[in-house]
Amino acid sequence: MVAVRIAFACSLITLIPVAAAQEGDHALEARITRIRADEQALERRYDVPFSERRMRRFEEFFDSELQELDALDFDALGVSGRVDWHALHSELVHRRDLLRLEDKQAREVLDALPCLDDLVPLFEAREDVLPALAKDVAARIDRFALDVTTASAIAATLQSLPQTVRARAARLTERTLRTLDEYYRFRAGYDPQFSWWVAKPYETAAGALRGLASTLRSTSDRTGGGDPTLIGDPIGDEALTQALRHAWIPYTASELIEIARREFAVVQDLRTKAAKALGFDDWREAQEKVKDSYVAPGEQPELIRSLANEAIEWVTSRDLVTVPPLARETWRMTMLSPERQLVSPYFLGGEVIQVSYPTDTMDHAHKLMSMRGNNPAFSRATVQHELIPGHHLQQFMNVRYKPYRSMFRTPFWIEGWCLWWELHLFDLGFPKTKEDEIGMLFWRAHRCARIVFSLEFQLGNWDAQKCIDFLVAEVGHERRNATAEVRRSIGGAYGPLYQAAYLLGGLQFRALHEELCKPGTEGAWSDRDFHDRILRENTLPIELLRAILTGSKLEKAAKPTWRFAG
């Protein structure tokens, strides 16, 4: 019986209109796979910080690939091929932009600490596996150690640096230390002359680099309350505009902030109505009541398991999306450590949902914040976001359909897919109670807030503390959870648009759903056809995905134009 259902589902999927692929489309797929492999090979080969050679080699690579791409017969490409051409062109330009921004930021560090690149010739010779004259190497590293120690001692110079540059300098100093460690370990013990000459200068230089990094990180932070993990590195308006262009978003950062504030007003109205239904005049009071519904210690895994299974049954019983039996079978669960919860106070997901809940080692206040922030009503939105129909189903399909498009990985598609489900499920009646509504609306408010605070931060208008205060006041976060959210957002592990991409991507999918699935419209798609087709196209900027789903043949000069937010 299961086999019959699977076959039937597959037969329905084939009814979704798919434009025929041209011969050039397949050649372009192979080119994309080859370019990504070439880039990764170059990343492994050229890995020296502050290296001008690395900068030149990557610029040469990107420029060469862009020239070859431009020379392709664009008119011979079909709908999918033209989308891939534009996605690849945008990606190559974006990565070249990031390379130049990285180089510019490194030069700002060297302007203040010019000694940091003194060992680049040694490191590049190691990359080339050239002979090393141990006596000369020892002398050079010894001079380097002295210069680094001197730089670390000049406290006034370090204090005069902008906080963002100090944090960046600390990261680059630590990267230089790792490169020095690898350089030394390559020959130490294998070459007696090298060990005899270089061991002591290496130890001194490594200690000097650790001392410099510590000095850079320990300088007081007027915006982060002395916490070096709350120091971000805003990229500014120009780089933000370039990043939006890469994501095929035709809005300015200021326009996106206004969109977020409009959505925020809608959420606040819904929160107020739900609160009144619970007997509260203020949504904050209702939300505080909901937070206190947390389960007892030891019961969180069972809660998450039941919510996961309920979400799967909900979407499959309503024929909203195809869930392959293996996807349903293979999701797993782990618990987040107390250290991870300092950065991720809520769940993380994919094939493995990582559950946040306090341990017996946490202090009392932190325990309560974690329990209240991961109560059942709040978790109702996050469990389906992380598993099915969210990230787990998404990732399950990504490795099986058009995996070459992983190069075009964008948070507007990745997180936007999950946010679209949060919006869609709410509208379809997924919350059972008003408490559930309060929980799901907390997360929607959070997504609105992420757009506002992350873009204001990247524009240089807000500091970390203002972001934290905004989340506490306007969303209703526990303060430690708000701090962890800001730490995660500005720490550099995620791109500058990542936090904004959740709801903005969700709004893009909502607009696309309205366009293709409008009830009563001739040729309207079903929900399952819509969702299945998206998953089988893999990750793309959503305006480019729209071109595929609507069968639009983009022109070579096409630019982002889709005004998806009203």
Percent of the chain with pLDDT over 70: 93
Question: φ, ψ for residue 428 (rounded to 5)?
Answer: -85, 0
Q: Which two tokens stand for residue 411?
A: 């948070």
Q: Which distant-in-sequence residues (6+ apart) come within 8 Å of 485 by Cβ?
A: 345, 446, 471, 477
Nearest to 533 by CA among 29, 80, 82: 80
Mean pLDDT calculated for residue range 359-378: 84
Tell which wins on pLDDT, 6 or 516. 516
Mean pLDDT calculated for residue range 237-248: 94
**C-alpha span between 476 and 186 (Å, rounded):** 52
pLDDT in tens, 191-223: 999 999 999 999 999 999 999 998 888 754 444
In three-state secondary structure terms, 348 is: strand
Q: How many CA atoms lie within 13 A of 483 on its CB side?
A: 15
* pLDDT on residue 223: 42
* pLDDT on residue 13: 38
**C-alpha span between 373 and 396 (Å, rounded):** 28
* pLDDT on residue 487: 87
pLDDT in tens, 380-424: 888 999 999 999 999 999 999 999 999 999 999 999 999 999 999
38-to-103, 189, 557 alpha-carbon distances in Å: 21, 34, 27
Report whether pLDDT(22) > 90: no
pLDDT band at 103 (very low <50, low <70, confident <90, very high): very high
**C-alpha span between 218 and 230 (Å, rounded):** 12
* pLDDT on residue 160: 76
DSSP track, 5-35: HHHHHHHHHTTS--PPPPHHHHHHHHHHHHH
Mean pLDDT calculated for residue range 496-518: 96
Q: Which two tokens stand for residue 7?
A: 């076959």
- Mean pLDDT, the chain, integer: 90
> Any idea which of 178-187, 219-228, 265-274, 325-334 has the lowest mean pLDDT?
219-228
pLDDT in tens, 312-352: 999 999 999 999 999 999 999 988 887 777 667 777 888 99
Mean pLDDT calculated for residue range 217-233: 63
